[in-house]
Amino acid sequence: MAHSELPSGIEARLLKHSDLDSAVSLSQEAGWNQVAADWKLFLEFGAVICLQRGDRVIATAATLPYGGAFAWISMVLVTAAERRQGLARWLLQRCVEELCARRLVPVLDATPAGRVVYLRLGFRDHWTLHRVTSLSPRMPPQKPISSAILRPITPADWPRIIAYDAKVFGAERGFLLRSLASRQPNVALIAEEHRGLTGYLLSRDGRVMNQLGPVVAENESIAADLLDQAIRMLSPPFAVDVPDHQTRLTDWLKRIGFAAERSLTRMAYQTNAAFDDGSRTFAIAGPELG
């Protein structure tokens, strides 16, 4: 769909900092968890295309590039009164075209309804995950499962955390990790054993719940210890987006009071090639960030 095919009276442009209140209102209308700090990430490190009718922002789609290899598409939102006009599809195609022109592979985490649309547009399934949430976890007496030592991340830790994460995520994303860590610095945790760095966890505040993730670790025991400590340090409710293949971690979360809320599918545009290390990915940063 070309830009000229937008319905009459609707114009496309880039979102600006002065539009942040409008953007937050759109995600709030959808019942999503984002706050202004999340939208600022896209404005600072990526881009947000918005559609405007008159002086009102009515729809958005964000892109966030990682390491010159691929880029996330997210925050595809249309206000209720303007739906069923093909606006979300127009925005998605616009994002795909712009990313492909930059030789970046478009990637996204799709809801079941969105997946049907994305398959038709050329996206392919990679793996599935579930959001699990808890209003009040039932924490047993604290007893570490692994032999890892956990502590807060310090500035000196960042070079090795960023290098470690890049091998797992598939691209360097230090700008994102540092930004997330600044949101809840006391709950930015590193795990170490005698062989060195074996995992880390970051968290961020949300509109309705704290988001725990990313969690990257050598095994599920270290991941569980990181989550256990983070949960004890923050106030509920919590959300964690866990890959479905991490069944042991999911079982542990369910034992302490988490329940599956919704499913998502990680998809990439016109490729089946994996770019990440799923064995060490225990929670993503969120479907809007990867």
Tally Cβ neighbours within 10 Å of residue 148: 22
Task: Please check whether residue 117 lies inside any domain of the structure.
Answer: no
Q: Which amino acid is at 189?
A: L
Is residue 115 in a domain? no
Q: What is the pLDDT of residue 288?
A: 97
Note whether residue 113 is domain-resident.
no
Based on the fold, state whether residues 173 and 241 are members of the same structural domain.
yes
Q: Is residue 114 part of a domain?
A: no
**Are residue 269 and residue 139 in the same domain, yes or no?**
yes
Quote the radius of gyration of the chain (alpha carbons, Å).
19
> Would you say residue 289 lies in a domain?
no
Q: Are residues 142 and 274 in the same domain?
A: yes
Bridge partners, 154 (sequence order): none
Is residue 88 located within the same domain as residue 136?
A: no
Q: What pLDDT is recorded for position 2?
A: 40
Q: What's the one-letter identity of residue 217?
A: A
* Mean pLDDT, 10 residues at a time, the chain of 290 residues: 72 97 97 97 97 96 95 97 94 96 97 93 97 95 90 97 97 97 97 94 97 98 98 97 98 97 96 93 97
Distances (CA, A) of 71 to 50, 66, 130, 133: 18, 5, 21, 27
CB atoms near residue 20 (< 10 Å): 16
Last residue of a domain, one of 61, 84, 103: 103
Burial class (CB in 10 A: 0-12, 13-18, 19+), 121: middle
Among 68, 103, 138, identify where a domain stops: 103
Angle among Cα 259, 37, 225 to the nearest 5 degrees reads 40
End-of-domain residue from the set 86, 103, 120: 103
- Residue 93, domain CATH: 3.40.630.30
Please indicate, yes or no, whether residues 134 and 99 belong to a single structural domain of this protein: no
My answer on whether 26 and 145 are in the same domain is no
Give yes or no: residues 274 and 137 share one domain: yes
- The answer to the question of residue 120 being in a domain is no
Burial of 123 (0-12, 13-18, 19+ CB in 10 A): buried
At residue 144, the pLDDT reads 87
pTM: 0.95
- Residue 251 is assigned to a structural domain of this protein: yes
| pLDDT computed for residue 143 by the predictor | 84
Both 136 and 184 in one domain: the answer is yes
Residues 278 and 236 grouped into a single domain: yes
Same domain, 139 and 97: no
Number of structural domains in the chain = 2
Report helix, strand or coil for 77: strand
> Which element (helix H / strand E) includes 56?
strand 56-66
Is residue 276 domain-shared with residue 135, that is, in the same domain? Answer: yes
Q: Write down the pLDDT at residue 46.
A: 97
Residue 248 belongs to a domain:
yes
Quote the pLDDT of residue 241. Answer: 98
- Clarify whether residues 97 and 156 are in a common domain: no
Domain that holds residue 30: 3-103
Residue 27: predicted pLDDT: 97
